[in-house]
Structure 1
């Protein structure tokens, strides 16, 4: 695997983590959780990401 490919994969995973965190935080905030609870929800959203699916999608494109 080329170095540029590794960087692209890493950037896509980082982007997916950021998106999951933002969505998790927003959903929790809308549901009325405090900032600490919303942050926990954001972290949980990142932990539950299916990294294999993200990599498989990258390899198929």
Structure 2
């Protein structure tokens, strides 16, 4: 078994596709992650990508559109 590297305070970016702006704001408060939201409606794009490492205090960009 190889040792795993632990990143202190690091988390994995979830796939936020299809989530509402309200869901995103709730998630960001719970995780301590800042979000920059563009548009309205539901998530159609995000940066960092799902599976990327994120840390508390980071800013994530979220794209929303009315129809997904």
Q: Which protein is richer in strand relative to its size?
A: 2
Q: Which protein is richer in helix relative to its size?
A: 1
- Structure with higher Rg: it is 1
Same fold (TM over 0.5): no
- Report the TM-score when normalising by structure 2: 0.29
- Report the TM-score when normalising by structure 1: 0.31
